[in-house]
Amino acid sequence: MSILIIAEHNNKQLNPVTSSLISAAQTISQEIEALVVGHQCQSVAEGLASLAGIKKVWLVDQSACKYPLAETIAPIVESIADKYTHIVAPATTFGKNFMPRLAALLDVAQISDITQIESDDTFVRPIYAGNALAKVQSKDTKKIITLRPTAFPPVTETQTPATVEALNIISENTLSQFVGLEKSESVRPELTSAKVVISGGRGLQSADNFHLLERIADQLNAAIGASRAAVDAGFVPNDYQVGQTGKIVAPELYIAVGISGAIQHLAGMKDSKVIVAINKDEDAPIFEVADYGLVADLFEALPALEKAIDELKTS
């Protein structure tokens, strides 16, 4: 068995989710190769080649591949798919976008967002917003898989770099063109890999009030997340959304502030190690998953929390 993992990166840095793919793949086979598609991304390929467990890195480096358009990347992967039994990508917007297209080109079903590997053909994946776990066995000879990065530990050990080999595949995408990316710049850690996440909901009432969370995020080196209601109301950008249809997070500490705890929100955070909920409604469903629940008005609790953490840090 031979596995191909598809690297997610921005041409400069490897997205850490890629290293979770390696540890997951290792439970199936040691024959793990990787593909990097991008532009001027040699350093990404080299970084990946030195992560423990990678046997070889294939590199497609051309200006047409600067942005990971599905119409570009799916045919490239298809053209080298033959020799692999499993092709794996992260269940991020990068992987979710092109992998099903690839699967269709190969006439293979995709197994989405797996959280457990039972064997080389049997996987567990959450359905119904994580309220049920489906164990599925694939009958396809080739397995096309997207994998939930937070469910598998990242590989951090390094090795003597594996070879990086350039592939000369010319992309012929005339269907779609990249126009622009409006990045939400943040100095904070990335939401899906942060050790601490503090999220706000409709209870925050305004974009301005998110500053109350920012100060605590600074103290704890936390990422900031949000409920759909907070995003819909325009308090924060779309990429803050945690949940069934947003980002899945599983930090050491998740603090939910002014969030009721709808199943769609819980789907994105209930695998966090420690959950704190601050809500003025003692019956809010968020308390059912919280390890520590504080019934309080957030406008009083947040300044007090900031002060208490400050005192803790200086004591």
Partner 1 sequence: MKIMVAVKRVVDAYVAIRIKNDGSGVELANTKMAMNPFCEIAVEEAVRLKEAGLAESIHVVSVGDDACCETLRQALALGADCATLVETSEPLQPLAVAKCLKALVEREKPDLVILGKQSIDGDNNQTGQMLAGLLGWAQGTFVSKLTLTDGQAIVVREVDGGLETLQLTLPAVITTDLRLNEPRYAALPNIMKAKQKPLTKVPIVELKVESDARQTLMQISAPEPRSKGQRVNSVAELVAKLHNEAKVI
Q: Which does 265 bind (CB under 5 to 8 A by kind): ligand FAD, partner 1, none?
A: ligand FAD
Instruction: Determine which residue in the list 71, 161, 169, 299 makes contact with partner 1, applying CB under 8 A.
Output: 71
Report the C-alpha gap between 110 and 127 in whole angstroms.
14
CB of 12 to partner 1, least distance (A): 13
The C-alpha R_g of the chain, in whole angstroms, comes to 21
Query: What residues have CB less than 8 Å from 134, skipping those under 6 apart?
Result: 124, 125, 126, 127
Pattern of binders to partner 1 over 191-220, x per CB under 8 A?
-x---x-----------------------x
Q: 93 or 163: whose CB is closer to partner 1?
A: 93
Are 133 and 127 in contact by the 8 Å Cβ rule? The answer is yes
What residues from 238 to 257 belong to the interface with ligand FAD (CB under 6 A)? 241-246
By the rule CB under 6 A, 73 interacts with ligand FAD: no
Are 44 and 7 in contact by the 8 Å Cβ rule? The answer is yes
Q: 18 or 244: whose CB is closer to ligand FAD?
A: 244
Tokens for 90, please give them: 């992260």
Other beta carbons less than 10 A from residue 128's beta carbon: 11
By the rule CB under 6 A, 125 interacts with ligand FAD: no
What residues from 180 to 219 belong to the interface with ligand FAD (CB under 6 A)? 201-203
Using a CB cutoff of 8 Å and minimum separation of 24, what contacts does 305-308 make?
A: 305/216, 305/278, 306/212, 306/215, 306/216, 306/219
Stretch that binds partner 1, among 30-38, 53-61, 134-142, 152-160 (CB under 8 A): 134-142
By the rule CB under 6 A, 96 interacts with ligand FAD: no
Q: Which does 99 bind (CB under 5 to 8 A by kind): partner 1, ligand FAD, none?
A: partner 1
Report the C-alpha gap between 139 and 107 in whole angstroms.
12
